[in-house]
A and B are shown apart, each in its own frame.
Chain A
């Protein structure tokens, strides 16, 4: 969920009134937002870098507001204020429109075929006769950053470039070139670099280095030129210095290059709907033409209103359709009840790209109505409950194992390769373990293939407790299995350990006998259970047996090998029981 921070006083000024913190918190809640924190730049710096560094910082009060992830229209002060004012009936939702240029032809962006392999899409638009102030300018930059971080997925899907149109001249060309063939002076630098040099230069840039990987290994880098060969930008990394905008810029050329065209259209719509407010003709945006390599021409921004019909049978709030229409209109979704009264016609503005289905409209209606005002009802759904048989057996066995004097442990399902192999003196290849490709630390390399390491680690963490220690766990391990759709399956295991000055094989053997008694399996060769000497490198030679039930091997028990005991940082003899309980379902 993105957090937007706005200056409180600017916000109140724009809203035309002041609020107490509590009142504003309440308003946020009603509108589906959350006032997350009240702070100031000074507070933030002093918390992160200490009081000394903060002494110079501003103590203007900041509201940090959590905005739902897909509400890109609330990511800047302009959009937030507009949304709240419409919600509180202080203004009508503005009508956004795309217009032709007053004089001459629309700006044109020509895409060449070379972009296809690296970043094939581009859209563009112009904000004509805009008036920035320092606050508006900051908000404009901040909105681009917020969009980059959220819908643009850190510039992988879409990258935004904004330019002072009066410093460049169209038509513009969006192409892709070999890194050594691109040379320009990047934003806020004093000299020209080749693209290859730039990629090295930005390796240490705390902000830009996160985006280098997007094109780094590509043979061709995307680049946009004007008709005089001036570089506007090298998306998604950096703009050129030549066309940079300032607080005095009057005409802004906006280009978005993308790997996902839908997202690029949304991003462009978002920027122009939010900031056209500051144009001489408010809420209008000048169109631009994009020409594809195949000659196809598309005019942007999309900036259209979609119509959706809401059938009242799926309405979940027992209020009149007129009231619902009113509620929706307050959410910037202009609505009218159709003449036959059975449906509501809803107009989705270009700012509400998050509305893709009637159910999104209903959600807005419910929010405007107030979730807490909805009458609670009980579904009449009649059902009979069943337990999952494996879990039912597990629950029953857990109780009886505790009754038998063993204490339940709860250990992690993920662990290191070492835990399930080296430390148990097993070969990793023989473990049938599933492997994780992106673990942050060794603790999460594999899913466990046995419960034993977790229990031994629990013993190690509790060496100071009085002996004997008797632990058990009944839980799942994960094994590769070609016969399932994902190639792996869980297996429910029962594992127990006895840790004392004496190995206590008889104790763990007694526990096996008790478990078999609980499972109604009698001792015996054919239809019962028996144990038989086995070789297992985890166990002390001659002190390990395999357990058979109804002729099938279900696990092992024995005295652990001293090297295993050492590798888990234990010092006393230890015996263990490890069985599969799924055969007993």
Chain B
């Protein structure tokens, strides 16, 4: 903080004038550098509404070093004129004078002197007029005395060209009284200290007011990814509804479990190279439950269980092909098969949220991998009404009361369930949706790359709010 003496002198000056005072004027009347006054203004401002200071800038002309010399000693041409006696001066001697070179040509063009080239003993310079008026010096003296406004712009610019004058921009403050004006400085404390608490000195102190408009300091913390926050909420919803989580930690799946077991024919377009990622290493799967595989083969190629089947030549080679799973329903199929192997059927509710892969053309809403949310209920006598009822409960928990096109739902076909060995009369209802789609809708994100993958903007992750799906 600037010296209290300066501060109080400043305040006394402000107190004396009506309507305010310029900091430049303060500087000259206190006889200090302008920067000291600026410092004092800042210090007083920090104390609250003692003064108001408005920044101004003004331009004025100042003499350069050479300009000052001329104001004191006269212009070069005048000095040359004065140096020449009645009988003249040889040019070579004249040129040795400090102002010689510049002064000679100026004095010549002013027609104050003339040069006799043919003079015996070398060229010699003589006065042409009796007396001269040193206008340049006069003008500079005027500027020096602060009367630069008396000169015309053209004149000033000419002097500037001769590097005798320079234009200077000065920043200053226009200081007026503030709402809490006082000429006495009370030092304000910035913060409460342990010493003040111990001594009780805080009772006598004045504290600098806080700026409540400023933002606080961001806490030094880690952040969870927004899509994963939404995943947590979906897990929570399923758990609240009594659904058990399926082990979906197997990205590599055989075509058998991903397609054939779901009664998807081997020529189905989804099994095309254009839609599914196939593996070259390891290319094929082994160890299928043999009885079950035969039943799957039969229902595809010949029918059975009340079905006509697809009546085509089902090939084990096609079923063995390893792929990156295209849906988590492959895991549901494994789980339902496992359930069917129990000695006695027990009803189940399953869910999963995990990555699936599609060899699709990528765009703003499609990536080659995304998270699929899936719910499955298996029990005796489930109906379409039950499916609609469960979906309604699920979407109500999501806060989606309107039927939005975000997923698929249905009843698994008997051609899928009966070969597994599930009892007749057991129905399985299921639904699925992507995790990304509702998240993008919820957070208003248009491009999926802004949400998923390494190109994510970490600031977005830092700034993302808590996820409450139902509000």
> A residues engaging B (CB < 8 A)?
153, 156-157, 260-263, 306, 316-318, 356-359, 366, 371, 374-388, 390-391, 395, 398-399, 401-414, 434-440, 443-444, 447, 454-455, 457-458, 460-462, 465, 469-470, 472, 476, 478, 480, 484-490, 492
In the docked arrangement, what's the CA distance between A374 and B388, Å?
Answer: 8
Contact (Cβ within 8 A) A444 B222: no
**Does B123 sit at the interface, judged by CB under 8 A?**
no
Q: Is B281 positioned at the interface, with any CB of A under 8 Å from its CB?
A: yes
Assess whether B402 is interfacial by the CB under 8 Å rule.
no
Distance of B181 from chain A, by nearest CB (Å): 42
Interface centre among B244, B377, B392 (most CB of A within 10 A): B244
Instruction: Name the CB-closest residue of B to A313.
Output: B425
Shortest CB-to-CB span from A376 to chain B, Å, is: 4
A490 touches B250 (CB 8 A): yes
With A260-B312, A407-B462, A486-B250: A435-B227 Cβ-Cβ less than 8 Å: no
Inside 8 A of A157's CB, which chain B residues have their CB? 267
Q: Does B61 contact A (CB under 8 A)?
A: no
Q: Which residues of B contact A480 (CB under 8 A)?
A: 281-282
Task: Tell me whether A412 and B385 are in contact (CB under 8 A).
Answer: no
> Contacts A357-B414, A487-B322 given: A412-B369 contact, CB under 8 Å?
yes
Known: A376-B388, A385-B239, A465-B459. 19 other contacts (CB 8 A): A366-B384, A371-B384, A376-B389, A376-B392, A377-B383, A379-B379, A380-B379, A385-B241, A386-B245, A402-B221, A405-B221, A414-B277, A414-B369, A435-B279, A436-B278, A439-B277, A440-B361, A476-B355, A488-B282
Let me know if B415 is at the binding interface, CB within 8 A. Answer: yes
Using Cβ atoms and an 8 Å threshold, which residues of chain A touch B241?
385
Number of A-B contacts (CB under 8 A): 244
Give B267-311 interface residues, CB cut-off 8 Å to A: 267, 269, 273, 277-288, 303, 305-311
- Which has the most chain B C-beta neighbours within 10 Å: A157, A402, A457? A402
Given A437-B283, A462-B457, is A359 in contact with B277 using a C-beta cutoff of 8 Å?
no
Check: B159 CB closer than 8 A to any chain A CB.
Answer: no
State the CA gap A190–B459 with chains docked (Å): 66
Q: Does B382 contact A (CB under 8 A)?
A: yes
Contacts of B36 in A (CB 8 A): none
Residue of B277, B278, B307, B393 with most partner-chain A CB within 10 A: B277
**Among listed B24-32, B72-80, B448-456, interface-contacting one:** B448-456
Within 8 A of A (CB), among B386-400: 386, 388-390, 392-393
Residues of A within 8 A of B310 (CB): 262, 356
B160 within 8 Å of A (CB atoms): no
On whether A490 and B249 interact (CB within 8 A), knowing A317-B384, A401-B222, A480-B282, the answer reads: yes
Is the CB–CB distance between B252 and A387 below 8 Å? no
CA distance A407 to B313 in the complex (A): 52
Interchain CB contact under 8 A, A457 and B385: no
Q: Are B454 and A409 in contact (CB under 8 A)?
A: yes
Please state if B461 and A434 are interface contacts (CB–CB under 8 Å): no
B348 within 8 A of A: yes
Q: Contact check: which of A356, A385, A407, A443 meets B243 at CB < 8 Å?
A: A385
| Cβ A436 vs Cβ B277 within 8 A | yes
Assuming the contacts A412-B454, A413-B251, asked whether A407 and B222 have C-beta atoms less than 8 A apart, the reply is yes
* B279 touches which of A413, A436, A455 (Cβ 8 Å): A436
CA distance A366 to B413 in the complex (A): 15
Q: Which residues of A contact B224 (CB under 8 A)?
A: 398-399, 402, 408
With A and B bound together, what is the CA distance between A380 and B349 in angstroms? 11
Interface flags, B78-109, vs A, CB<8A=1, else 0: 00000000000000000000000000000000
- Is A476 within 8 A of B242, CB to CB? no
Which residues of B have CB within 8 Å of A316? 383-385
- List chain A residues, Cβ under 8 A from B250: 484, 486, 489-490
10 contacts between A and B (CB under 8 A): A357-B413, A374-B384, A377-B383, A378-B389, A382-B347, A385-B243, A409-B461, A414-B324, A435-B280, A447-B251
Q: What separation, in Å, do the CA atoms of A480 and B251 have in the docked complex?
A: 12
Q: Is the Cβ of B322 less than 8 Å from the Cβ of A262?
A: no
Of the candidates B232, B267, B384, B413, the one having the most CB atoms from chain A within 10 angstroms of its own CB is B384
The closest CB in chain A to the CB of B301 belongs to A262
Determine if B254 and A359 form an interchain contact, defined as CB atoms under 8 angstroms apart: no
The answer to whether B357 touches A414 (Cβ under 8 A) is yes
Q: Does A461 lie within 8 Å of B456, measured CB to CB?
A: yes
Contact partner of A438 (CB less than 8 A), chosen from B245, B273, B453, is: B273
